[in-house]
Structure 1
Amino acid sequence: MKSLKTLLYFSIFKYPLSAKEIYLFSAAENEREVNIELDYLKQKGVVSTNKDFYFLDNNVSSVDRRIEGNRMANLVMDKAIRKGVLISKFPYVKSVGISGALSKNYHDKNGDVDYFVITKSERLWIARTLLMLYKKIFLFNSRKFFCINYFVTEDSLEISEKNIFTATELLTLIPISGDFKDFYNQNQWVSNFLPNLEIGKTSITSLTKKPLLSGFIERTLNNKPGSVLESVCLKLTLKKWTSKFQDLSKEDFKIAMKSTQGVSKHHPQNFQKQVIDKLNQKYQEFQSKYDIELEKEHA
């Protein structure tokens, strides 16, 4: 029941889908298979429809919520792109993309804009530190349009956590600046989860020449002292996070706050695990209620 798995996943975000979207975000072989499944689920009272959107639990209010969220996403997208271009001008930043809710064309008054950043190798933590200092000093630590919570280096592009959540995030990523070709090439595994979504998008803007200050910083730190500073930035950040997020188990910390030479994640809520756990719980509930068995997801 591939359509149901897709609807259950997006129901966690209270986000109804069209039949076309259900097909794209499923492993169904074709749209006819999806339509047959949806008709069956409607007859069983599992799925409801309104304004050409399908949803669960008779949650008709989610349709208007989605429509409003789509409208707000269109309003903020240009500003989000401009901020992404700004991020791309910082030292050692190679590529920038929009992730999170906005990458799925949704935004609300409490939402922020998440960015995924690829940096040069062995300089991730300097790049991250400079961006965080900019946010704290010039943006008064506001996350609204400057939430940079996931960095990887150009030699650590393969995402190690391979599941439906990370596949969805990667395939909905909106490249803003830089070349994502190698990133997509090294993450072809996403098609095992979502084969109907095309992998590989071109950035919205061309990567322009770095500002003089960024170029100067890179030239100044492309040496042994720069490598020492990189190590210091990593150690200080890791020490701060270890102290601040003591409530996370060691296993959860390694995933949610991954801090290596090639990866930096700042996800203290461990949203990936929350989503997978909620999804498996929904699978179990639907099996008990409707006798529809669904294979569990892994984190």
Structure 2
Amino acid sequence: MKEALVPLVFFAQFDRPLTLQQLRRYGWGREFGVDELKQIIKKSDMHLSGALCYLDETHLSEYARRQELAKKFWQRVKQSRWVFANVPFIKMVAIGNTLAYDNVHENSDIDLFIVTTSGRVWTARAVLLLWLGLLGLRVRSVKKYLLISPEFFVDETALDLSLCAIANDYYLAYWLADLAPVWRTDYFDTVWNANRWLKDKLPVAYRSPNLRTEFNGPARASWFGWALEKILAGRFGDRIEAWARAKQQRIIDRNKVKLGINPSVIADDHVIKIHFNDKRAEVRERIEEFLAR
């Protein structure tokens, strides 16, 4: 029954305790009842204090403060949504990683996952980076607090994220389970349906996606975003897309050499995923060591 405790091992790496309901939602491989989870915790090295389960007691001290700090980050997201309206070809924007589950700290950033129109992923990325750079909102150094990191783009033909996975990719599964759409949220159902493989990994989480009601409602492109889409359609737009890709590809390749520690970079016609320090294999190793004990 160690699989029931996989979520605690995973989120311990981010100093995050879980409630019993969260532990149930994140159950790996099958569903576990709350009473069943209590019994499993009692027989393990894990701890249960009040409503919270945890691996290390130090995780409790920061829990409430991080949740409170997350409110400031969500306010920044709300204030920044107008930027997405001024970027052409965006079909959806979602928040991932620690902010998605309210576990931020003083050097957290705001990780974006962006879906674009087919054949325009590089154009959309270029315009978004330009806006964020002009506004001083883009992560550019080790100082990340309240800044935006748009490092994962896919177009509408590449919604199945299992194609980006490594073997036994716990990180990707939990990242996807907590993905929180914040712009054009109605498109999220399309993304979710394209990732039915998550149902086998996290059956309860797949039935209960991380939808935040404050971001519901229509989200339309501005006249500027609409005009750019019209101008950049057709063959002219194809040439701009090729130019945008070539220019950005050179920068990505240079940064991969300069900044890469354990880089994981996908940069093709449909997916741009840039992580210069990919920890997925490390996360998998820790979980599999726990399961093998």
* TM-score range relative to shorter protein: 0.7 to 0.9
Give the secondary-structure state (helix, strand or coil) at the position aligned to 1:258.
strand
Alignment of 1:171-182 (within 5 A): 171-178=177-184, 179-182=187-190
Residue equivalent to 2:76: 79
Gaps of 5+ in 2: none
* Deviation (angstroms), 1:108: 1.3
* Deviation (angstroms), 1:244: 2.2
Q: 1:247 to 1:130 in 2, by over 3 A?
A: closer
1:187 paired with 2:195, answer yes
1:65 paired with 2:76, answer no
Residue equivalent to 1:15: 16
**1:161-187, Cα deviation, whole Å (9 max, x unpaired):** 343211111111111121111111110
Calculate the TM-score normalised by the size of structure 1: 0.84
1:167 paired with 2:164, answer no
Residue equivalent to 1:157: 159
Alignment of 1:35-184 (within 5 A): 35-41=38-44, 46-56=45-55, 59-139=56-136, 141-142=138-139, 144-159=146-161, 160-162=163-165, 163-178=169-184, 179-184=187-192
Q: Counterparts of 1:50 and 1:89 in 2: how far apart (Å)?
A: 47
* Deviation (angstroms), 1:210: 1.6
Structure 1 stretch displaced more, 18-27 or 184-193: 18-27
The one-letter amino acid paired with 1:271 is K
Contact 2:89–2:120, Cα closer than 8 Å, also in 1: yes
Q: Counterparts of 1:154 and 1:172 in 2: how far apart (Å)?
A: 20
Q: Counterparts of 1:276 and 1:161 in 2: how far apart (Å)?
A: 15
**1:53-99, Cα deviation, whole Å (9 max, x unpaired):** 2222xx32210112211111123312223324532441111111111
* Deviation (angstroms), 1:202: 5.5
Structure 1 stretch displaced more, 143-152 or 226-235: 143-152
Q: Counterparts of 2:125 and 2:158 in 1: how far apart (Å)?
A: 16
* Deviation (angstroms), 1:276: 2.2
Contact 2:111–2:148, Cα closer than 8 Å, also in 1: yes
Q: Counterparts of 1:247 and 1:280 in 2: how far apart (Å)?
A: 31
Contact 1:88–1:96, Cα closer than 8 Å, also in 2: no
RMSD: 2.3
* Deviation (angstroms), 1:195: 0.8
The one-letter amino acid paired with 2:158 is S
Considering only CA atoms, is the larger Rg found in Structure 1 or Structure 2?
Answer: 1
Residue equivalent to 2:236: 225
**Match 1:244 to one of 255, 262, 269:** 255
Q: Counterparts of 2:99 and 2:82 in 1: how far apart (Å)?
A: 16
Residue equivalent to 1:210: 221
Which structure's relative contact order is higher, taking Cα pairs within 8 Å and 6+ residues apart?
2
Q: 1:283 to 1:14 in 2, by over 3 A?
A: farther
The alignment of Structure 1 onto Structure 2 pairs a total of residues equal to: 275
The one-letter amino acid paired with 1:245 is K
Q: Counterparts of 2:6 and 2:137 in 1: how far apart (Å)?
A: 41
Q: Counterparts of 1:238 and 1:75 in 2: how far apart (Å)?
A: 34
Give the secondary-structure state (helix, strand or coil) at the position aligned to 2:109.
coil
Structure 1 stretch displaced more, 9-18 or 136-145: 136-145
Gaps of 5+ in 1: 288-299
Contact 1:19–1:53, Cα closer than 8 Å, also in 2: yes
Q: 1:85 to 1:141 in 2, by over 3 A?
A: closer
Q: Counterparts of 2:90 and 2:65 in 1: how far apart (Å)?
A: 34
The one-letter amino acid paired with 1:260 is D
Q: 1:263 to 1:88 in 2, by over 3 A?
A: farther
Give the secondary-structure state (helix, strand or coil) at the position aligned to 1:33.
helix
Q: Counterparts of 1:85 and 1:61 in 2: how far apart (Å)?
A: 39
* Deviation (angstroms), 1:141: 4.1
